Structure 1
Amino acid sequence: MRMIFLSQTTVGLLGNFFLLYHYSFLYYTRCTLRSTDAILKHLTVANSLVILSKGVPQTVAAFGRKCFLNDVGCKLVFYVHRVGRGVCVGTTCLLSVFQAITISPAGSRWAELKPQAAQCIGPLSILCWILNMLVNTIVLQRVTGQQNRVNSTKEKDLGYCAAVDFDSSILGFLHIMLLSSYDVLGLGLMTWASGSMVCILHRHKQQVQHIHRTNLSPRSSPESRVTQSILVLVSTFVAFYTLSSIFTLLLTILPNPGLWLVNTSALMAACFPTVSPFVLMGRDPRIPKIHSTCC
């Protein structure tokens, strides 16, 4: 587990920092920028926060340091993780919806939103950060340091910190509904947008099949390549998010979760932030590949 957490954290941070450098380089050199690059920059920052707040403390705890964070440190680490995770959900949802609007045919009802879609990226991304920073203030009340534990049955040992269970009152139920409704809405919009993009690409492929000639290039259009990259990214997110949600649910339901469940939940939570930059880099033609560099 020590080597797994250390490898995941190192690889994830290197991948996200390189992707941030790539987008910054494109911006300052005024190279070709896509409208989706602005969303991907927010996603990369959120991924970095998730790895720093989840992977780094979990790696330190795996090497035997249990009480290296005080009460303020635990609250800050878990709060940053929840904010970063929420922004990952929001920006991935925004990315898929924006691309679905971009490639929508001229006669559809979404075509009217194309001119305004690119202008709304910045405000919606900032709104996503503000919303998650406000909603996840609940975490500050539930997380405490190991030094402040009172050995109550309502507290759960999370390795280097402890968490207090939600109470069974109406207020506790509202807190759970508030935290889960955001994720459910984001996944619902992602599913709708991904289905729409698949249908649009399929119809477009059928429409142009009869005009294909042997002298035409077999490569797809830039819009199709970007759409396919986003579909791969969204599919990766949904797969890892589903696994992470299952382990998080078990961690919440079980009264005394074992160390293996705590470690597995932390491992799953950082999987998408670790893998996503390499998915994006592997499908971005603006990033030189190793084999082309060698040639």
Structure 2
Amino acid sequence: MIAVDILLGIAFFSQIGIGVQGNFFLIYLISLLFFMGQNLRPIDLIIIQLALANSLVLLSKGLLQGLATLGLKNLLDEISCKIVFYIHRVALGLSLSTTCLLSGFQAIIISPHQPKWLKLKARVPRYIFPSILICWVFHMLQNIVIIEKLKISSNNRNISGTIEYGHCSVNVTATVSVSLNAIMFTIPDAMCMTFICFASGYKIYLLYKHHKRVQQVHTTSFTPRVFPETRATQMILLLVSTFVTFYLLSSFLSAYMYSVTPSPWLAHSWALLTSCFPMISPFVLIHSDSQILRYYNAVHGRNSS
């Protein structure tokens, strides 16, 4: 085993360890407060959904890919291989759609206090749980076709049109047509990405307007500090730019892998890129959402008393 493979294995398992801990912290904290009878925000359900999807992405892909870099390949039979890969695809779709849902909810919450927006703000919390269920159903049905493409990978297989994923390979030469694949996967993903960028731009615009309105109040303070509007804008930009960057890089690399006979390096690079946002996002959410830290202090204070 060469040193590069060991480093790749360390990278995959580090992603899993860091990312799963961050996402499980959010799930544990919000779930514990719920069972303690605390009043939670509607957005907390979206955060749990995003943390769950990110954890599934890390565990279903990173663990097997890390084992593959260490030489432990073909550990799964055909049924197990299909199940794990299916979970990974569904979790990826849920991560995208939940980020889209989170962006839309935040945009509505900080929208102006006008009659039309007030009515929408009052109705939105009732639609969060049904929207999450729709996301689950949609991505589970969407990725059923992936199960039909999967077959157990072979160590000595190097065929054009077959993409190796360490434990599974996807035969893309005898699958659905390009147009059908675009309708099923590319168009929904592009719509979600467009909405995320639009909602984030709208939030930044609203925060900028608010900052301008209260700038006179801020300038009367003699202590230099970061304006809350500036900090919120920075966090929105950080979360969205992180998601969009890693998602686009992963998508471009995945499309390239479909057009050539990929080397193991391409497969490992794609897996690392795919797992970057699920690893980083919980820490961005914790840092940007002050209420999560208040949740932690509430739980910590109650356990200490």
- TM score, norm. by length of structure 2: 0.84
Q: Which residue of 2 aligns with 1:275?
A: 280
Q: What is the aligned-residue RMSD (CA, Å)?
A: 2.9
> Given the superposition, is the C-alpha separation of residues 117 and 70 from structure 1 closer, same or farther in structure 2, using an over 3 Å criterion?
same
Residue among 124, 143, 153 paired with 1:136? 143
Q: Is the 8 A contact 1:101 1:111 kept in 2?
A: no
Q: Is the 8 A contact 2:107 2:200 kept in 1?
A: yes
Q: Is the 8 A contact 1:157 1:163 kept in 2?
A: yes
Residue among 133, 140, 161 paired with 2:168? 161
Give the secondary-structure state (helix, strand or coil) at the position aligned to 1:46: helix
Q: Distance in 1 between matches of 2:269 and 2:123?
A: 42
Q: Distance in 1 between matches of 2:198 and 2:29?
A: 30
- Please tell me whether residue 245 in structure 1 is matched to residue 251 in structure 2: yes
Q: Report the more deviating stretch, 88-97 or 73-82.
A: 73-82
Q: Distance in 1 between matches of 2:42 and 2:238?
A: 18
**Which structure 2 residues correspond to residues 257-272 of structure 1 after superposition, within 5 A?**
257-272=262-277
Q: Is the 8 A contact 1:96 1:230 kept in 2?
A: no
Percent identity for Structure 1 against Structure 2:
38
Number of aligned residues: 288
- Please tell me whether residue 145 in structure 1 is matched to residue 152 in structure 2: yes
Structure 1 residue 120, shift from structure 2 partner: 0.8
Q: Is the 8 A contact 1:149 1:162 kept in 2?
A: no
Partner amino acid for 1:8? Q
Q: Distance in 1 between matches of 2:235 and 2:25?
A: 18
Q: Distance in 2 between matches of 1:150 and 1:259?
A: 12
Residue among 121, 132, 135 paired with 2:128? 121
Structure 1 residue 205, shift from structure 2 partner: 1.0
Q: Distance in 2 between matches of 1:26 and 1:220?
A: 30
Structure 1 residue 201, shift from structure 2 partner: 0.6
> Given the superposition, is the C-alpha separation of residues 24 and 159 from structure 1 closer, same or farther in structure 2, using an over 3 Å criterion?
same
After superposition, give the CA deviation of every residue in 1:123-165 in whole Å (9 maximum; x if it has no partner): 1011111100011111101111126999764433332211111
Structure 1 residue 229, shift from structure 2 partner: 4.1
Q: Report the more deviating stretch, 13-22 or 84-93.
A: 13-22
> Given the superposition, is the C-alpha separation of residues 6 and 211 from structure 1 closer, same or farther in structure 2, using an over 3 Å criterion?
closer
Q: Distance in 2 between matches of 1:37 and 1:168?
A: 39
Q: Distance in 1 between matches of 2:232 and 2:213?
A: 20
Q: Which residue of 1 aligns with 2:13?
A: 6
Q: Distance in 2 between matches of 1:238 and 1:11?
A: 21
> Given the superposition, is the C-alpha separation of residues 17 and 113 from structure 1 closer, same or farther in structure 2, using an over 3 Å criterion?
same
Residue among 180, 185, 198 paired with 2:186? 180
**Which structure 2 residues correspond to residues 44-193 of structure 1 after superposition, within 5 A?**
44-107=51-114, 110-146=117-153, 153-167=160-174, 171-193=177-199
Structure 1 residue 110, shift from structure 2 partner: 4.0
**Which structure 2 residues correspond to residues 223-242 of structure 1 after superposition, within 5 A?**
229-242=235-248
Q: Which residue of 1 aligns with 2:4?
A: none
> Given the superposition, is the C-alpha separation of residues 120 and 76 from structure 1 closer, same or farther in structure 2, using an over 3 Å criterion?
same
Give the secondary-structure state (helix, strand or coil) at the position aligned to 2:74: coil
Residue among 199, 203, 228 paired with 2:205? 199
- TM score, norm. by length of structure 1: 0.87
